[in-house]
Amino acid sequence: MRATYAAGAAVASLALWLAACGGSSTADISVLPQDTKENVARVLWQTKYDESKIPADVLQKLYSQKNLPDARGARTQKWLDDLMAHPDSCAPNYSERYQALKKYTGSLSGQQAYAVNLLLGSDSSRGYQEIPSSIQFSFPADDAPQNQYQVGWHFFVGSAFAQDGEEYGVQMMFWHYAMLPPAMAKAAGLTDQENQALEMHLAISRADGRHYRTKPYVVTGTTGLVQFSEAPFHYAQGKNYMRSRQTGSLFPIDLRAWGQDEAGSKPVDIGLNIGLSQTKGYVLNGDQGLSPACGGVGTLYYSVPNLRITEGSWLEVDGKKVQLASGKFWYDHQYGTGMLPSGSPRSPLLRAATHLEELEKGADPGGWDWLMLQFDDNTEMGLAALHTKENAKFYRQTGPNPPGTMTAPVKGLFIDEDSKTREIKGQLEVSQWTRSTISYPPYDVTHTWYPNHVKLVFDENSKLPAQRRVVHMEPIVKNGQQGWFAMGLQYSEGAVYLKNAQGEKVGRGFLESTGYADGNAQMLKLAGIPATPEMLNLLEPRTLSKEQVASCAALVIENKAALDQELLQCKGL
């Protein structure tokens, strides 16, 4: 029973109002899950859930039939039934996993259903918008949330300098996930926007101080708290928003957000009100924005570097409002299908070849290190080092000692003063690690080791200036910069100093590391499912059966010429 409506008269009054508005019955009043209340409160900037302060139109959505747990559970189970009834050819069979998930998914909160989606198999990429083999971007139209794809995000990170000289690292991201394939959502009476789960990530690091990060606040579109409109761009999660100042361009843009860091002995309020103006053009990552695209799965990905903080911007940390004097930010928009979970190509022939190769050589572990570098001379780098089987011993490490020195190939783009780009390659070296010891309910401590100090050494063929051939990335804080996604995956994301080979500061950047922590138990917990040994075993990677190996190998052999042609259409690998 909610404290706001403890009195019977108040409950009856709300029930009558909802009924008059076409909402839920009196029985529905007791079924709004606790995690939903907490997330709704936070995105409306409440420290505690208080319905007396929630707008009437939002209350109506919260208690509408499509937002209630039983209806969401029914939609999830229909998706599971469809996956079992129509399995992908030449792909692992997940029926046993899906049958087990069905036992726990009859009634789900929005966050629970979101976590369930990340427990699905590679066949769950079916039915979403497929990644094309070529694309012509149109801005700012493509800055809009691309809700037909499975997942996408709008991501801003950067370094800010206060008028009093203090330095801060800042992250704000909206991450959206389509809970059902679009056609299935439409059949269930959901709009594309109602079909989304939208989570916000908000973090502020004070140089030589500590890293503050809110929980990942997540609400589904059926709550009425996810809003988007164009001309100008306006993307909102409750009171948090990203809003363009004019029609016809994403920039200048205003970012507004609030939340609480709950990792310490007491909650700490953090917030931002930052304006960003554009100084450079859009940068297409991968192969002209395909990063990658193969058989309909992959991502579309572009960036805008060297965004400048505008006058009047400020940060809030623990009740102190800090006026900002300057700063540089970076914008990423990436979206796609078959990324989380890792998806199978939609082409049966490519699917057969992919899973046969995984059976022979083993699947790649997933995860990456992403590196953003913005130098003081107005040049930038955007780099990535994808995780590999060869470096498996450095992932999921939770012992008392750091895992040693890791090296990995890294590649990406160098952006010169005039916004011209060229591909660069080099080597990433991690010899210093930091251990994640933070936790706050319902997110459990992982004790995972993450990269802390990164050294980059670039190939001579990259044709970089001599002073850029070696770059060190060192965090601006000493206590780690880890956080979670609302479905249970942990990652590290934080501001770094850029130093040259002589140890001199030459810029600022951000280091992101994903796929280092084992998230299965946490995802099960957030989905409301016991993390039993049997359930955890069902989440282990699956391979083709003996019968599938024979038939799929025959398919590949008989259609080798066609397979070669399809592989030629793969981009950004």
Residues of the chain with pLDDT under 70: 1-30
pLDDT digits (tens, 9 = 90+) for 358-415: 999 988 899 999 999 999 999 999 999 999 999 999 999 999 999 999 999 999 999 9
Q: Which residue has the tokens 């206060």?
A: 162
The predicted structure's pLDDT at residue 471:
98
DSSP labels, 422-433? EEEEEEEEEEEE
Cβ–Cβ < 8 Å for 411, 384: yes
Structural tokens at position 558 = 């008989």
Task: Return the sign of the alpha-carbon dihedral for residues 68, 73, 74, 79.
Answer: positive
The two tokens of residue 459 are 């190939």
**pLDDT score, position 10:** 34
**Cα 319 to Cα 97, 259, 315, 444, distances in angstroms:** 47, 12, 10, 27
pTM: 0.94
Strand-pairing partners, residue 203, are: 171, 213
pLDDT for 537 equals 98
Output the six-digit token pair for 536: 């955890």
Listed in sequence order, the residues at least 6 apart from 531 whose beta carbon sits closer than 8 Å to its beta carbon are 520, 521, 524, 525
What's 481-549 look like in SS3?
CEEECCCCCEEEEEEEEEECCCCCEEEEEEEEEECCCCCHHHHHHHHCCCCCHHHHHHCCCCCCCHHHH
Alpha-helical (H) ranges within 44-168 are 56-62, 69-85, 95-102, 110-117
Q: Which of 67, 51, 235 is nearest to 145 (CA)?
A: 235
Q: Give yes or no for a contact between 2 and 49, defined as CB atoms under 8 angstroms apart.
A: yes
**What confidence score (pLDDT) does residue 191 get?**
98
Distance (Å, rounded) from C-alpha 162 to C-alpha 313? 10
Q: 123, 87 in Cβ contact below 8 A?
A: yes
**CA 151 remoteness from chain centre:** 8
DSSP state of 572: -
Structure confidence at residue 375 (pLDDT): 98
* Joined tokens for residue 308: 């400048």
